[in-house]
Structure 1
Amino acid sequence: MTPDSQLSTSLPRSRAEELALSIQENIRQRQLAPGEMVSTLQEIRSQTGLARSTVSEAVRLLRERGLLEIRPGRGGGLFLAQPTPVVKLRHTLLTVADGTTATKDAIELRETLELFIAVQAARHRTDDDTLRLHRSLEAMREVQQDWEAFMQANWALHRDIAAICPNEMARAVYLSTLGYLQQSTAPALVDGSTATGTEYRRRRVAVHERLVEAIISGREAQLADIVLEHNSPA
C-alpha cells in the first residue's frame, strides 16, 4: 500500500470533484439518455457561481470517465456520451460501494498497474507529454504547504502519466481506480500541518521527480525500482 494511501484520515474532495458528482447526480435524476444535452459550461458557471477553472476541471473529469462529450458550435454544449464497453467498465468501477475494503481493493489494483502504465508512458511519450509532465510535477512542488492541494496535484500527475498509455483497457481501469479514490473518502497518511507531514511530502515529491525523469528519458530499467519505492510504506 502506498504511503499516500494509508487509512488514517480522510482527504476532502476538491470543488471540481464535488461539482462532477453533482452533475452526475443531476444526470441520474433527469434520467437522460445517451446523446441528450446535459448543459453548457456557461449555464453551469451561472448556476453554481464557481470559477471557470473549477467548472472546466469538473467537465474534464467527467469526459475522462467517459460520461460527457463536448459538441462545439451552434446548439453545442455538454452531452451524455454513448456508453462504450470501456465506459461501462469505468462506470462499474466508479460505482463500487465506499468502504475500507473497497478502498484497499482500489489501491491494490492501482499499484498492480503502476509499473505497466509507467513503462508504456516511457515508450510512447511525446514532446508534448514531456512538457505536460514537467508542468504537473512543478505544480506538485509548488503546493507542498497545502495538504489537500498537494494530494490533488499528485492525482493529476498520475492521470497525465496514464493518459500517455496507449492500452485503452489498462488506462481505463487505472484511471477508474484514481477516480474512485478521489471521490470516495480518499485516505491520507498524516495531517499536513505536522512536521512529519512536511517531510512526507518532500519525499513524495522526490520519488515522483525520479519517476517522471525515468519516463521522459525512456529509462525503463529504472522504473521497477522507482515504482517499488513509490508503492512502499513510509
Structure 2
Amino acid sequence: MIADRRLGPGDLIGTMDDFRDRSGYGRATISEAARLLNDRGTVEIRPGRGGGLFVARSSPIVRLRHTLLTVRKMPATVADAIAVREALEPLIAADAARHRTKQDISDLRKLLTQLKRATSSTDRFMRANWALHERIAEITPNHLAKAVYLGMTQCISDLSAHADSDDAGRTEDHLRLRLDVHTELVEAIVSGDLARTAAAVERHHAPS
C-alpha cells in the first residue's frame, strides 16, 4: 500500500479498522502485524483519535546508514540503543579526557592504528570502531555510565551487520572520513582538552 499509493514519511496508511475491513482478520492479528511493522521501522503506530498506521519518519536508525550498518531485526530497539549511547558519549569522552593514563593513551593509539588498517573492509572497520569506543568507555570512573554505554554498544553490535556497498570507492572514502573523525576524537582525549573533546564528539555524531 505504501508503494502503490506512493506514500511518504508521516503519511497515513490506514486505521486499524481499515485493515480489519480490508483483510478480514481479527483485532489481535492486525495489532500483532502492526507491532512487527513498527519494530522493523516501516510504520509508526499512533493511538487515539486521529491515530492509525503512518509511514515511519526518519529516526536515529538513519545513523546506521551513516556508519554503513544495516539492521537485522528489532530496528526500534537499535534506534533506542543508539539514542542512549549518543546521549552518554559527551560524558564518556569528557571523563576519558580527564582521567586517561599513559596506559590508556597507549591502548587508544594502538586501537586507532588497527582502525587505520581496516579501511579496506567495512566489517573489519566497524569491529575496530566498536573496540575503540569500548576502550574509551573503560576509562570513565562512572561505573553506571560505563555499564549502560557498553550494554548499548553490545546491543547495536548484536542486532546489526555491515552493509555492503555497490560503490567500493565511495565506501572507502566514507571509511577514511570516519577514520579522520575518530583520529581527532582520540587526539582530543589524549590532549586532555575538554572543549576540543566536546567538539570531536559533536563531529562524531554529525551525518557524513
| Aligned residue number for residue 97 of structure 2 | 122
C-alpha distance in 2, partners of 1:3/1:127?
A: 36
**1:40-79 alignment to 2 at 5 Å?**
none
The alpha-carbon deviation at position 6 of structure 1 amounts to: 2.6
Corresponding residue SS for 1:10 = strand
CA contact (8 A) 2:61 2:78 kept: no
Q: Which residue of 2 aligns with 1:233?
A: 207
Higher relative contact order (CA 8 A, sep 6+): 1
Matched, 1:166 2:141: yes
Gaps of at least 5 residues in structure 1 are 13-97
Following the alignment from structure 1 to structure 2, what is the Cα–Cα distance between the partners of residues 192 and 130? 37
TM-score normalised to the size of structure 1? 0.58
Instruction: Say whether residues 1:10 and 2:10 are aligned partners.
Output: no
Q: Please list, as runs of the form range in 1=range in 2, the aligned pairs for 1:15-164 lying within 5 A after superposition.
A: 98-164=73-139
The residue identity in structure 2 corresponding to 1:10 is T
The secondary structure found in structure 2 opposite 1:110 is helix
SS at match of 1:145: coil
From the superposition, tell whether residues 113 and 192 of structure 1 become closer, same or farther in structure 2 (CA, over 3 Å). Answer: farther
- Say whether the 8 Å CA contact 1:5–1:187 is kept in structure 2: no
Runs of 4+ in 1 over 6 A off after TM superposition: none
* Partner Cα separation in structure 1 for residue 61 and residue 129 of structure 2: 12
State the 1:5 CA deviation: 2.1
TM-score normalised by length of structure 2: 0.65
Label 1:146 to 1:232 Cα distance change in 2 as closer, same or farther (>3 A).
same
1:212–1:181 distance in 2 versus 1, CA, 3 Å: same
Mapped partners of 2:113, 2:202: distance in 1: 23
Aligned residue in 1 for 2:187: 213
Change (3 A) 1:2 1:202: farther
**Conservation of the 8 A alpha-carbon contact between 1:2 and 1:233:** no
Aligned to 1:175: 150
SS in 1 for 2:115: helix
Label 1:187 to 1:108 Cα distance change in 2 as closer, same or farther (>3 A). Answer: farther
Q: CA deviation at 1:219?
A: 0.8
Partners of 2:198 and 2:91 lie apart in 1 by 9
- State, as a whole percentage, how many aligned pairs show the same letter: 36
Root mean square deviation, CA, Å: 2.3
